Amino acid sequence: MVEGVSLAELADLIGARLERGDGAKRLLRVASLEDALADSLSFLATARQRRYLAHTRAGAVILRERDLAAAPVAALVCDDPHLAFARAAQHLTVATRPRAGIHPTAWVHPEATLEAGVAVGPHASIDAGAYLARRVSVAGGCVIGAAVEIGEDTCLLANVTIYPNTIIGRRVIIHSGAVLGCDGFGYANDAGRWVKVPQLGRVIIGDDVEIGANTAVDRGALGDTVIEEGVKIDNLVQVAHNARVGAHTAMAGCSAISGGTRVGKYCRIAGGAGLTGHLRISDGTQVTGMTMITHDIREPGSYSSGTQMTATRLWRRNAVRFNELDEMARRLRRLERQLFELQARNAQE
C-alpha cells in the first residue's frame, strides 16, 4: 500500500464533489461498504448495495447525488461511482512488481534479447529469438517460445505458455495458466479418419489487453488470430484460430469464439456465450449469458437465446412442448386456413 491519498486529491482525480468531509483526510485502502473502516474508500453503485450504506464505517463513499442524503460519512459525489472507484483504487493500491533480473533457475537462450528492467522468475524458459522489451515481468514457470515478441511493461503471471512467433503488445496482463499460440482445432476428414491441418499463423495481442487464467487463444491456420487493443478476456475463455476480437471488447468466463469469427469493437460477451464459426458481429453488440450466436449480427444491440431458470417440473413440461412447436405451428396454419375459408363462404351467403 502507498501512504495514502487525501480526499481533496481523490475528488480532483475522479472529477467528484466532496461533501461532508475534510479534504486533508488521507485514505489508505479500498473496501466494500460492509467491511470498510475509517481509513478506507468505498462506493455505492447499485440498488442492491444501498442497504449497507447507512451502517458503513468507511472514511468516504463514492456515490450518486440521489444517495447523498443517506450517507453517514464523507461523500464523493459523481455520475458513475463504479468507474470513479476503479480510477481511485488504482492510486490507493500498488501491484507488486518483481525485482529486475533473471532467477538462477530460469533458462534464457543466448539468442534471446531482454531489455533493461526485465524480471524472469524461477524455472521460466525463454527460447531463441524471443524479444522482451523494457520492464517485462515473467513469473515462475512461464514458457516463452522462439521468436516471441513482448512489449514494454507487460506482465506474465505464473505458468503462462506463449507459443513461438506470438506477438504481445505493451502493458498486457496475462494470468496464470493461459496459453497463447497453441494449434487451432483444424482437421480434414478422410473416410472417417481425421487428418491434421497444419496451423501456420500467429497470435497477435494488442496493447492494454488483459487475459484471464486458463484461457486459450489459438494460432491462425494460415492468417493470424488477433486480439485488438484494450480487450478484456476473463478466465476459461476459448478464442479459436483466425478469430478477431475488436478493440475494447470484453468477454466473460467460459465464453467461446469459433474459428474465423470477427467480433467488433466495444462488444460485451457474457459468461458461457458461444459464437459459431466465420461470423461477423457488429461493433457495440451485447450478448447475454449462455447465448448461442449462429448467424451474423449486423445491427448493434442486445441479443439473447436459451431459456431462463424455472422449477424443474415446469421446465420439463415446457421442454416437451418445445419439441411439439413445429407440429403445433402446422396445425395452427391449417386452422387459420379453414377459418379464412369459412369466413369467405359466410360472406358470400
Is 241 marked active-site?
A: yes
217 and 293 part of one domain: yes
* Total number of domains constituting the chain: 3
247 close to 264: Cβ distance less than 8 angstroms: no
CATH code for the domain of 65: 3.40.1390.10
123 and 53 part of one domain: no
227-236, 272-281, 292-301, 320-329: least confidently modelled range: 320-329
68 and 155 part of one domain: no
**φ and ψ of 216, to 5 deg:** -120, 130
Cβ burial of 108 (10 Å; 0-12, 13-18, 19+) is buried
Task: Let me know if residue 55 belongs to a domain.
Answer: yes
pLDDT at 2 over 80: no
Task: Let me know if residue 275 belongs to a domain.
Answer: yes
Residue carrying C-alpha cell 532467477: 103
Rounded Cα distance between 270 and 287, Å, is 6
pLDDT at 123 over 90: yes
124 and 262 part of one domain: yes
pLDDT value at residue 95: 65
152 and 286 part of one domain: yes
Task: Let me know if residue 78 belongs to a domain.
Answer: yes
280 and 135 part of one domain: yes
Domain that holds residue 34: 5-92
What is the tally of helices (H) and strands (E) in the chain? 4, 39
244 and 188 part of one domain: yes
Task: Let me know if residue 321 belongs to a domain.
Answer: yes
pLDDT at 306 over 90: no
250 band by pLDDT with thresholds 50, 70 and 90: very high
Residue 42 in grid coordinates:
468505498
% the chain with pLDDT above 90: 91
CATH code for the domain of 270: 2.160.10.10
Task: Let me know if residue 308 belongs to a domain.
Answer: no
Beta bridge partners of 143: 125, 161
Cβ burial of 217 (10 Å; 0-12, 13-18, 19+) is buried
68 and 116 part of one domain: no
325 and 299 part of one domain: no
Task: Let me know if residue 77 belongs to a domain.
Answer: yes
pLDDT value at residue 338: 93
33 and 118 part of one domain: no
128 and 50 part of one domain: no
Beta bridge partners of 151: none
319 band by pLDDT with thresholds 50, 70 and 90: confident
pLDDT value at residue 85: 96
Residue carrying C-alpha cell 505493451: 170
Task: Let me know if residue 264 belongs to a domain.
Answer: yes
Task: Let me know if residue 240 belongs to a domain.
Answer: yes
Instruction: Tell how far CA 349 is from the center of its chain.
Output: 67
244 and 318 part of one domain: no
Catalytic choice (241, 248, 278, 295): 241
